Structure 1
Amino acid sequence: MTEVSPVQHGIWINELAGAGSAYHMPLVIRLDAPVDEGALAKACAAVVERHPLLGMAFAESDGVPRLVPAQRPPALSREEQPGPFDLARGPLVRFTLAGDTLRVVAHHAVFDGHSKQVLVTDLLAAYRGEVLPPLPPAGPREAPAGDARAFWEARWRVPGEVIVPGGLLRSRRAGEGRVLEFPLEVPELDGLTRFEVLMAALHAVLAAYGNATVCTAIDLSTRTPAEEGHIGPFVNELPLFSEPTPGVPFARFAQALRAELREIYRHRRVPLARAVRGLKPHAALAPVSVSYRRGDDDERVDWLAFNGAVRGALQLQLLDGRRGIAASLRYDAAELPDPEPVVADLRALLAKVAGDPSIPLAAPRPVVADGPATVPAGSAVAVDGDDPLLAGITAIWEEVLQLSPVEPHDDIFDLGGHSLTITQIIARMRKRLDIEIELDDFFDNPTIAGVLGVIRR
């Protein structure tokens, strides 16, 4: 058995909560006809042998997951394999051939955006008959927390709802999504990368809608040179906060945002859950998130194939290639029925910046946000001191948290609990008390009183 990384544990937690296909990472490869199916099957096997993480599964014991070999190895198939991955059985990659098109779907628990390029390169090399040598071991997957705790203590706040035209974005869960694909023209500005210009434009647009503090979650690669050729989840999601000031020249705001990003990069290998006490697990760190990578935009490969889902309310995936930036906007239609106005505003601002980088940031303008009314936080649940489950549940909490006493209305996150302690508590409640409680119910009711309320309702 192999211990899972914090990133893998977070993904596993959200899968238990019902992520559907949100962590599926598909790509579509168009091969030259006729396809040698036998050679392709061998190539798929060679890729899995070179990257054994693809052939793993998650085994859970007492609420703690471990990586183990899948019950069956991945293999090329002509039948589409619908539905979510079974993480407990594996494997965590699917190869499906239809005519001259190969569809590969890997699970984010063992895969990231850069892994797509690695897989395509290795797969096509093996298909040509080249021998893929074993890879040297990758380095440590995370850095010591060090001063990341102090860094995030001064910056972290729980991301709030985001005002956009026609919607109010709150979701940080995984669920069914829709997609809007479009090209993005991002100007080259002195001293700024295209990613930095794009992030500054996105933050400026969101501020113009009336969001005084803007937060977007960003996926940052944690790869080192030793891990360049490896497949795996070498990525960390971190928040980028800003408070755009109306009238400030765009270029100056973008430079300030660049400086903040550079500070964040220093801590990119430390999972936020290790640096922020009481961080609640969510499929998305904020309602709006961005994933950006440079890469090959070979027309034979659909690098941004849609998985039918979204994490959070709005997820912008970007591929910066030789022909420009391709954008895939995944969104929750229940919170944002029409993303076109947001896209139009972003593209319009980028066009203006291309003509004059010193244009002032716009003052907030009223927008119509038709999201549902905010649901108030639940009040404290009354506890019956004679409830026969109270003592048993309290004992398990104190045992897992290694803390006593734990009172009925103590919030587990305030006590230093996190997703791993919650899964351990759930597992022990199931085993000892024959109680089953869903992760979502636990996250929404993170006290002993709240858990009892869920059980008794």
Structure 2
Amino acid sequence: MTQFVPTSPLQRGIWFNEQLVALGSAYTVAVTAHLRGPVDVGRLARACTALAARHPLLTAGCHNLDGLPWLAVGEHPLTLAVEPAADGTVRERVERACRTRFDLSAGPLARVWWFPLGNGGGVLVLAAHHLIVDGRSKDILLRDLADRYGPDAPAVAAQPAGPGYTMPPEHLVVAATEYWWRNPPRPVELPRDGGVRPGDTVVRALTPRTRTRLAEAAVALDATRFELLLTVLANCLAPDDGPTSIAIELSVRTPADADRIGMYVNELPLTLPTPPTGSYAAALTTVRAGLRELYAHRTVPLAMCRPGTRPFLATAAVSVSYRRIAPGPVFAGVATTVDWSAFNGVARNALHVMIADGEQTHVTFQFPASAGARRRADALIDRVLVVLDRSLTAPQATLVRPQEEPPPWT
């Protein structure tokens, strides 16, 4: 039975952008899991069905009703597509699945693939439109899918299918409007040619030594891991003159939403004075103060504060997302390796930095594809890690500015 549920202001912003131009896979959110060992495909398919029962949003379609989007929950079953692939072709097929373009008018908004390999294992891909999932949703979905694959799957109630996030109260909108009047943003407008740019990506993992220093510095400097990492990024990405604007993906989840999938992310730009001067600890203080001021307005979409703002894919040319990832998931009887930063193949701004911080810490740069951009991104991400390690080791020392050729996104 189909149930129509309203969308939140954040969801309506995504939907509106999709109506204006062809965005391809710009709003596709994907996660992949390499399962090594004998996998029972029938049990995996049944787990997908149980997953959809737990999270009804996975069965939704989207319809325009009197000029507003509504989610039609129960319109599309979530099924497991099994596509045998040789070792030489599985990577290409996985990339294609991660870059799926979801048609909002036709549906479905979520899909699951299983690419079996000759050893009894394979690669699992779960992809969905950003209208119904965010980064935290990937953790929830893989964990719940693994639980339902096990022999003793828990019997739990379905999560509500509503938007979760609701309209912020008027006093918060007024306060946010005053804040953005003092700090006018410059969002990245939708492409005027009606399309998005192909993207490329480079990935690095923090060494165990750097992760240890990160944990120690968080205690010594009374800062979050995100604040420590963002301070170094802001330093390395800052232009030689003028302020730095970095869009921050902020969660608007409440404790009641902890186990629900959905779109609970509000991206807002943070403006910092540049170039940073003094020590890393001093720059950290500036970044922390700017973040704390921004956090007060995290529940208010930017478009609500600035009438006439053009539709945008990002609220700044450079954006950053950070997620703490819990251990797991554990699929019974098989070893699991998860790629939490699966790339959808599209560059939505000049540079997007993804930080996945769990049992390992991976930093991913996503940027418009070109031969020169990849070379510069490789050099810059390596430089960021060098400056990070040096800054964590001696936080009172002068913060070092990169000397290499500046990347195009600065």
Short-chain TM bin: 0.7 to 0.9
Does the aligned pair in 2 maintain the 1:55–1:90 contact within 8 Å?
A: no
Please name the residue that 1:130 is paired with.
153
Report 1:281-320 matches (<5 A).
281-296=311-326, 298=328, 300-320=337-357
Please name the residue that 1:98 is paired with.
115
**Equivalent of 2:277, from 247, 251, 254?**
247
TM-score, normalised on structure 2? 0.80
Cα deviation, 1:156-195, whole Å, max 9, x if unaligned, reads 231589xxxxxxxxx9x84311110111346324111121
Report 1:398-409 matches (<5 A).
none
- How far apart are the structure 2 equivalents of 1:240 and 1:304? 23
Q: CA RMSD in A?
A: 2.9
TM-score, normalised on structure 1? 0.72
Please name the residue that 1:60 is paired with.
64
Over 3 Å counting, the alpha-carbon distance change for 1:370 and 1:192 in structure 2 is closer
Q: Are 1:328 and 2:364 counterparts?
A: yes
1:248 to partner: Cα distance = 2.2
Report 1:40-439 matches (<5 A).
40-69=44-73, 71-79=75-83, 83-99=100-116, 100=121, 101-128=123-150, 129-135=152-158, 137=160, 139-146=164-171, 147-158=175-186, 174-184=196-206, 185=210, 187=214, 188-189=217-218, 190-207=221-238, 209-296=239-326, 298=328, 300-323=337-360, 325-334=361-370, 336-338=373-375, 339-361=377-399, 367=405
5+ residue gaps, structure 2? 84-92, 329-335
3-state SS of 1:152 partner: helix
3-state SS of 2:373 partner: coil
Letter in 1 for 2:359: R
1:300 to partner: Cα distance = 2.2
Higher RCO structure (Cα 8 Å, ≥6 apart): 2
Over 3 Å counting, the alpha-carbon distance change for 1:247 and 1:160 in structure 2 is farther
- How far apart are the structure 1 equivalents of 2:205 and 2:406? 26
1:310 to partner: Cα distance = 2.3
- How far apart are the structure 1 equivalents of 2:227 and 2:305? 25
Count how many residue pairs are aligned between Structure 1 and Structure 2. 361
Over 3 Å counting, the alpha-carbon distance change for 1:134 and 1:8 in structure 2 is same
Letter in 2 for 1:78: V
Does the aligned pair in 1 maintain the 2:48–2:145 contact within 8 Å?
A: yes
- How far apart are the structure 1 equivalents of 2:307 and 2:56? 34
Does the aligned pair in 1 maintain the 2:60–2:109 contact within 8 Å?
A: yes
Does the aligned pair in 2 maintain the 1:247–1:362 contact within 8 Å?
A: no
Does the aligned pair in 2 maintain the 1:210–1:366 contact within 8 Å?
A: no
Letter in 1 for 2:379: P
1:119 to partner: Cα distance = 0.6
Over 3 Å counting, the alpha-carbon distance change for 1:369 and 1:330 in structure 2 is closer
3-state SS of 1:109 partner: coil
1:63 to partner: Cα distance = 3.6
1:362 to partner: Cα distance = 5.1
Cα deviation, 1:26-68, whole Å, max 9, x if unaligned, reads 1122335322222211111111111111111211245422212
- How far apart are the structure 2 equivalents of 1:232 and 1:291? 17
Higher Cα Rg, which structure: 1
- How far apart are the structure 2 equivalents of 1:296 and 1:227? 16
- How far apart are the structure 1 equivalents of 2:188 and 2:148? 47
- How far apart are the structure 2 equivalents of 1:284 and 1:36? 41
Does the aligned pair in 2 maintain the 1:244–1:361 contact within 8 Å?
A: no
3-state SS of 1:74 partner: coil
Please name the residue that 1:11 is paired with.
14
Does the aligned pair in 2 maintain the 1:210–1:364 contact within 8 Å?
A: no
Cα deviation, 1:346-392, whole Å, max 9, x if unaligned, reads 12221221232123345797956679xxxxxxxxxxxxxxxxxxxxx
Q: Are 1:35 and 2:39 counterparts?
A: yes
Please name the residue that 1:420 is paired with.
none
- How far apart are the structure 2 equivalents of 1:23 and 1:341? 28
Over 3 Å counting, the alpha-carbon distance change for 1:211 and 1:289 in structure 2 is farther
- How far apart are the structure 1 equivalents of 2:100 and 2:139? 24
Does the aligned pair in 1 maintain the 2:249–2:265 contact within 8 Å?
A: yes
3-state SS of 1:317 partner: strand
Overall identity of the aligned pairs, in % = 36
Please name the residue that 2:88 is paired with.
none
